[in-house]
Amino acid sequence: MMFLMGVLVISSCSEDDKISNQVVVDTTRGAVIRTITIDPNSFDIFNSESQWTITAEYQDITDGTLLSDIEVFLNFVDNTEQNGTTTAVETKLTTIEGSTFTSGPNGLPRTTFSIGYGEALNALGVPNDSDSVSGGDQINIRLVVNLTDGRSFTDVDATGNVSGGSFFSSPYNYRANIVCPPTVPTAGEWSIEMQDSFGDGWNNASLAVTIDGETTTFTFNDGAAASFTFDVPAGTSVISIIFSAGDFDEEVTAQITSANGNEVIDLEPSPPVGVELLDYCLDNL
């Protein structure tokens, strides 16, 4: 009986080994381009020279010797409806030759490369104007890794643990946000007009005006309307205005006018709570 059991175990192990060997033989080893850092991960809509920059590390079964080059493709992602729909065709921007990579801390090839905002729009044929681009739109950046043996890998070839895994972090595909950073406000006297449709004040709702980190809160406790002014000193870098909720937000409205005469906020009933009310993309402060 013991002899028979031993024969069965040996036979079973042989079958398992055959299966394991076959899996290894049939497995194709690919390549990954690991994301080390992306900084910054956005484009400044007001600065055509702003850069999206990535540091990436290449890895394959030979520790990097199969790398031929990496192709960089761009596309435009229109996420805003207010200025119509902007479309573009995915376009190849450049090719990064494998010979330009240098050895990184892990002994694997690394590179750092940047894409300029104006450069990206020009390549895509998208005009750099408010009719085509808004804050919230994105530039899609897709990488294609080409190997010296003729194979290529991109986002559709990566499994979840490769594209989003904590180690590999190799999606081959990135979205760079187009953002509107705070613009310098006009110095001088700004005005606030506040209304309450029921006529009993803002019922604990308020507007918080923050100027270079110093916050002043504006509200009124009785009546149908109130007016306020505040001063923006010369040399101010950033102004922020945020609404805090009260008991009857559906009753409240307000308008804020900059020192340059532009109405920069026209607040409708039930305003959004805790978010920036100024639209920096309008560049009208």
Query: What confidence score (pLDDT) does residue 280 get?
Result: 84
Looking from the CA of 56 toward its CB, the CA atoms found within 13 Å total 27
Torsion of CA 217, 221, 226, 229, to 10 degrees: -20
| List of the chain residues with pLDDT < 50 | 3-27
Q: Which residues pair with 46 in a beta bridge?
A: none
Domains of the chain: 31-179 (2.60.40.1940), 188-282 (2.60.60)
Query: What confidence score (pLDDT) does residue 16 get?
Result: 45
Query: What confidence score (pLDDT) does residue 158 get?
Result: 66
Provide CB contacts within 8 A for 84, sequence distance 6+: 131
Torsion of CA 279, 281, 283, 285, to 10 degrees: 10
Query: What confidence score (pLDDT) does residue 2 get?
Result: 53
- Predicted TM-score (pTM) of this structure: 0.69
Length reported for the chain? 285
Looking from the CA of 72 toward its CB, the CA atoms found within 13 Å total 23
Query: What confidence score (pLDDT) does residue 272 get?
Result: 83
Query: What confidence score (pLDDT) does residue 18 get?
Result: 44
Gyration radius of the chain over CA positions:
29
Query: What confidence score (pLDDT) does residue 28 get?
Result: 57
Query: What confidence score (pLDDT) does residue 86 get?
Result: 86
Query: What confidence score (pLDDT) does residue 245 get?
Result: 86
Cis peptide before 105 (omega within 30 of 0): no
